[in-house]
Amino acid sequence: MTETTLNKNTIDDSSAPESVSLMESFFYWLKLGFISFGGPAGQISMMHQELVEKRRWISNQRFLHALNYTMVLPGPEAQQLATYIGWLMHGVRGGIMAGVLFVLPSLFILIGLTWVYLAYGNVPAIEGILYGIKPAVTAIVLFAAYRIGSKALPNTILKAIAVLAFIAIFVLNIPFPYIVLCAGIIGYFGSRVLPEAFQAGGHHGDANAKYGAALIDDNTPAPEHARFKWSRVISFLVIGFMIWAGAMLALTMAYGWDGTLTKMGWFFTKAALVTFGGAYAVLPYVYQGGVEQFSWLTGTQMIDGLALGETTPGPLIMVVSFVGFVGAWTKEVFGPEMLPWAGAVGAAIAALFTFLPSFLFILVGGPAVEATRDDLKFTAPLTAITAAVVGVILNLAVFFALHVLWPQSQNLDFSGQFEWVAALIGTAAFIALVKFKQGVMTVIIACALLGLGYQFMQ
């Protein structure tokens, strides 16, 4: 295999596909960027069906091996998985191409939707649609806590960690990174006392499933660009740091350390490093910074941003671009006459600093993963962190519910009118997700139509 084209591997009656060119990969990743709805589970399933079962570019075992690695990394696992497969097939260019195309369509779509939201959000029809989507988003977040918790909390100790995490962030208002750190410490020391309580469970499919010979099969040797070399590790770390430092230096020189865009660069860098457990886990941290600390947006706008993020392709963590857009617009970083341009730049900065570490994790760690070829397990600290994440996501659901059901409340004190219609829509959405196994997009569209109908009935 070379960095641009994979060699053909022929097997009787089950020959591997023809070699895949960089351009063919480009069109696949571009298409995926436009159709990757359904959150990380849906996106991973989509890639598995297309790349493992249909195209057979990579074997099931190698696919799951890469997935197990991305699952223990901070950041969006589906985007990192796409980057990993692109890198394995076509080297650095392939990895960067796959990772960028996975998020680029979502970025442009979200920029457009956010501009419409800020410029025309008071139009009655849009208000009605958002009225229905908000309780749906609350139900989706609650469903995420339920779904993750059912797998991540098999025993009393891990359930206790989840409860403590909820109390820490909801009652004590402790920042999310500290919760992650404390959970990791508990897992590290707790595993020495009760190792069976911190054993990670669950698998992402049957690694022995066969779909025919693949271009990158179980026993296909790692290509030259995927072999571990310290020189490559150091080179990628230096280049990655230079890109990050260069961008931060440019922002600091242009706007000062206290400038809004500079603060966004630093804030989203930190957010990218604590996204254990996916987008839902880091949203409380983004809320704490974007709403409470920097006042880039309001709590209601944060809910609306998540609603827009749920309805666009790409990783849900792209909601950070919504935060960047609204923050730059609100702070008028380029003056009152250039609000859309400021918003677009803010969204791009949020995306750059959020996703840059994800590329480094793959380019730096990928060769070591290929060298081991054994199934990666969750360590005890990561198991405890995952448990804490359940409590953090539950906090997010409660926060959203309070804002949706008591929208006039200033201090989340249950004051103001109770929105019983929103409560009914949210309840119906949760039942549809849990009992009737409806997809996220189906639930959002149905709730949006209900909200629109209620708006016109008033």
The rounded mean pLDDT for the chain is 83
Per residue in 208-262, pLDDT (tens digit) is: 556 778 888 888 888 888 888 899 999 999 999 999 999 999 999 999 999 999 9
Comparing C-alpha atoms, which of 298, 270, 286 is closest to residue 410? 298
pLDDT band at 412 (very low <50, low <70, confident <90, very high): low
Residue range 85-112: average pLDDT? Answer: 94
**pLDDT value for 204:** 46
Give percent of the chain with pLDDT exceeding 90.
38
Q: Measure CA 139 to chain center.
A: 18
Asked if residue 7 has pLDDT above 50, the reply is no
Q: How far is CA 270 from CA 275, 297, 346, in A?
A: 9, 19, 16
Asked if residue 164 has pLDDT above 90, the reply is yes
**pLDDT value for 377:** 44
pLDDT band at 203 (very low <50, low <70, confident <90, very high): very low
Comparing 182-191, 233-242, 394-403, which segment has the lowest mean pLDDT? 394-403
CB neighbours (10 Å) of residue 296?
26
Residue range 47-66: average pLDDT? Answer: 84
- Residue pair 273/353 in contact (Cβ under 8 Å)? The answer is no
Residue range 318-329: average pLDDT? Answer: 94
Comparing C-alpha atoms, which of 119, 138, 133 is closest to residue 454? 133
Asked if residue 206 has pLDDT above 70, the reply is no
d(CA 381, CA 365) in angstroms, rounded, equals 19
Q: Which two tokens stand for residue 349?
A: 């900065």
d(CA 320, CA 271) in angstroms, rounded, equals 9
Considering the entire predicted model, what is its pTM?
0.72
Comparing C-alpha atoms, which of 75, 9, 431 is closest to residue 219? 9
205 Rama class: left (phi>0) / alpha (psi -120 to 50) / beta: left
pLDDT band at 455 (very low <50, low <70, confident <90, very high): confident
Asked if residue 375 has pLDDT above 70, the reply is no
d(CA 172, CA 45) in angstroms, rounded, equals 38
What is the amino acid identity at position 436?
F
Give percent of the chain with pLDDT exceeding 70.
87
Asked if residue 12 has pLDDT above 50, the reply is no
Q: Which two tokens stand for residue 246?
A: 């260069």
Residue range 82-97: average pLDDT? Answer: 95
∠ CA 204-311-30 to the nearest 5 degrees? 70
Asked if residue 8 has pLDDT above 70, the reply is no
Asked if residue 333 has pLDDT above 80, the reply is yes
> When comparing pLDDT for 69 and 143, which is higher?
143
pLDDT band at 296 (very low <50, low <70, confident <90, very high): very high
**What 3 state SS string does the chain have?**
CCCCCCCCCCCCCCCCCCCCCHHHHHHHHHHHHHHCCCHHHHHHHHHHHHHHHHCCCECHHHHHHHHHHHHCCCCCHHHHHHHHHHHHHHHHHHHHHHHHHHHHHHHHHHHHHHHHHHHHCCCHHHHHHHHHHHHHHHHHHHHHHHHHHHHHCCCHHHHHHHHHHHHHHHCCCCCHHHHHHHHHHHHHHHHHHCHHHHCCCCCCCCCCCCCCCCCECCCCCCCHHHCCCHHHHHHHHHHHHHHHHHHHHHHHHHHCCCCHHHHHHHHHHHHHCCCCCCHHHHHHHHHHHHHHHCCCCCHHHHHHHHHHHHCCCCCHHHHHHHHHHHHHHHCCCCCCCCHHHHHHHHHHHHHHHHHHHHHHHHHHHHHHHHHHCCCCCCCHHHHHHHHHHHHHHHHHHHHHHHHHHCCCCCCCCCCCCCCHHHHHHHHHHHHHHHCCCCCHHHHHHHHHHHHHHHHHHC
pLDDT band at 373 (very low <50, low <70, confident <90, very high): low
Asked if residue 341 has pLDDT above 90, the reply is yes
Q: Which two tokens stand for residue 42?
A: 């849906």
**pLDDT value for 416:** 76
Q: Which two tokens stand for residue 317?
A: 């963590």
Q: Which two tokens stand for residue 47?
A: 């890639």
Asked if residue 98 has pLDDT above 70, the reply is yes
